Structure 1
Amino acid sequence: MDVYVYSDESGVFDKKHNDIYVFGGLILLGKDSKDEWSRRYIAAEKAIRSNYEEKAELKASYVRNKDKYKLFRSLNGCYKFGVVIQQQRVLDRIYKSKKDKQRYLDYAYKIGLKRAMEALIRDGLVSDKDVKNLRVYVDEHTTATNGRYELREGLEQEFKNGTYNYNYGTFYEPLFGGLQSVQLTFCNSATTTLVRAADHVANRIYHESLTCIPASKEKMTITILP
C-alpha cells in the first residue's frame, strides 16, 4: 500500500506577534482513495466557483466563511491530522536563526505526522508492515534546498530507517518496517487539489486554536507542541 499525505501551514512562526502556528493535512490510504477524495474536493470547489473570480485560487484566506465550511464538509470521512505549536512555550533561542526555526518546524511536522500514523495503526486502519511507499506533498515555500533535504531525511528516519539517541545509546525502530521509500514533494497549491484541501484543514485548526486547543474529532489526530 502507498500512503499519501497532503499538508499545509497556517500562521506565522514568530512568537513576538503570534501565539499559534499550525500544520494541517490529509492522510489517504492508497491511490484509489487519493483519487476519490480529489474528485470530491474538485466537485466542492466547482459548486462555489461562481462566487469568485474565474481564475482565483480558492484558498482559506480568500473564500467566505460559509464557503469554507462547504469545502471542509466535503472532506467529512477523510482522515485528517494537525500539529498545533504553542509558540510562547518554544525556547527563545529557536527563533534566533532561520536554520534553527526550520529545524524545529521540521521536527514538529514529522512528530505530528508520526502520531497520526500511530493512531491509524492503533485503529486498525493500516498495518505497519503493509505500507510500501510514503508520498508526502507539502505546499511550496521559501525553504532552501538543503532544508528540503533535511526534512526528507528526518521523515526517512522516523518512518523507514529508525532513529538513534546518542545520549542514551537507544535505537528506535522505524514506524513502518516494510517501507521501501519516502518521497517528499514541494508543490504549488494552485495546481495540486489536495494541498488546497489541506490548506482549509490547517486554517480550521488554526482558528479553533485561537480560542481553545481543538479537541480531536472523528478521523482527526491533533498533536499539541511543545
Structure 2
Amino acid sequence: MRRENSLSATVNIRKVYSNILGDKNSIHRYKDYVLKRLIKKQIQKYILDGSLTETDDLYITICLDEQATATNGIYNLKDSIYEELVEGIHNFDYGTFHNPVMHSKVKVDVQFCDSSQNYLIQSADILANRVWNSYMRNKPELREFTNHVSLHLS
C-alpha cells in the first residue's frame, strides 16, 4: 500500500468574483483560501479514517513553489491555516461559525521552495499538469490516484 498522499484543488474561474480576479493581491489571498480549504479537508479525512484524532498534536509542513506572497488579507497563509484548524472561523457576512477541527497543539510551517532544487515541488507540478489536462481533455480517469484528495470550488 502506498504511503504517499496527494492533494489537488481546482477552481471554476468563471465563478470567481471579478473583483478578486482584477487585483493581484486578491488573487493571492484567494489562492491562500483554496490551499487552506484543501489542508482542512485532508486533516478531516485523516480524522475520519482514524489515522489522526482531533486531540493529537500536529506539525504541518507545507512546501510551495516560490511565488508572490503579498495579499490584501489580514492573515498570511500560515496563520490562516492555524486559525481554521485550531480556533475556528467566523464568517460575519453569513453569520456563521465554522468549528475548529483540532483541539491540540498545532504548528504550521510554510516553506517556499525553488522547484528546480526540490523534487517534491517538481512532482506537484506534474500532478497539477495531469489534473489540468484531465479537465481540458474531459478524461476524469486521469484524476484517479491512490490516496488522493481533491477539492473542486465552483
Q: Normalized against structure 1, the TM-score is what?
A: 0.58
Q: Is the 8 A contact 1:159 1:179 kept in 2?
A: no
Report the 3-state secondary structure (helix = DSSP H, G, I; strand = E; otherwise coil) of the residue aligned with 1:129: coil
Shift of 1:179: 2.8
User: Any idea what the Cα deviations from partners look like across 1:177-213, whole Å, max 9, x if unmatched?
Assistant: 1133211111112222322222222222111121337
Q: Percent identity?
A: 28
- Asked if residue 205 in structure 1 is aligned to residue 105 in structure 2, the reply is no
Q: 1:144 to 1:92 in 2, by over 3 A?
A: closer
Report the 3-state secondary structure (helix = DSSP H, G, I; strand = E; otherwise coil) of the residue aligned with 1:124: coil
Shift of 1:111: 0.8
Q: RMSD of the alignment, in Å? A: 2.4
User: Any idea what the Cα deviations from partners look like across 1:88-118, whole Å, max 9, x if unmatched?
Assistant: 2222222111121111111111112211221
For 2:56, the aligned partner's letter is: D
Match of 1:64 in 2: none
- Asked if residue 224 in structure 1 is aligned to residue 152 in structure 2, the reply is yes
Match of 1:138 in 2: 64
Give the structure with higher Rg (CA): 1
Question: Which runs of 5 or more residues in structure 2 are unaligned?
Answer: none
CA distance in 1, matches of 2:84, 2:139: 26
Which aligned segments of 4 or more residues in structure 1 are displaced greater than 6 angstroms?
none
CA distance in 2, matches of 1:78, 1:221: 12
Report the 3-state secondary structure (helix = DSSP H, G, I; strand = E; otherwise coil) of the residue aligned with 1:126: coil
User: Any idea what the Cα deviations from partners look like across 1:144-170, whole Å, max 9, x if unmatched?
Assistant: 3887x6222211111233212234554
- Asked if residue 175 in structure 1 is aligned to residue 106 in structure 2, the reply is no
Q: 1:213 to 1:108 in 2, by over 3 A?
A: farther
Alignment of 1:13-32 (within 5 A): none
Equivalent of 1:120 in 46, 56, 69: 46
Question: Which runs of 5 or more residues in structure 1 are unaligned?
Answer: 1-75
Alignment of 1:26-175 (within 5 A): 77-144=3-70, 150-167=76-93, 169-175=95-101
Equivalent of 1:195 in 104, 107, 121: 121
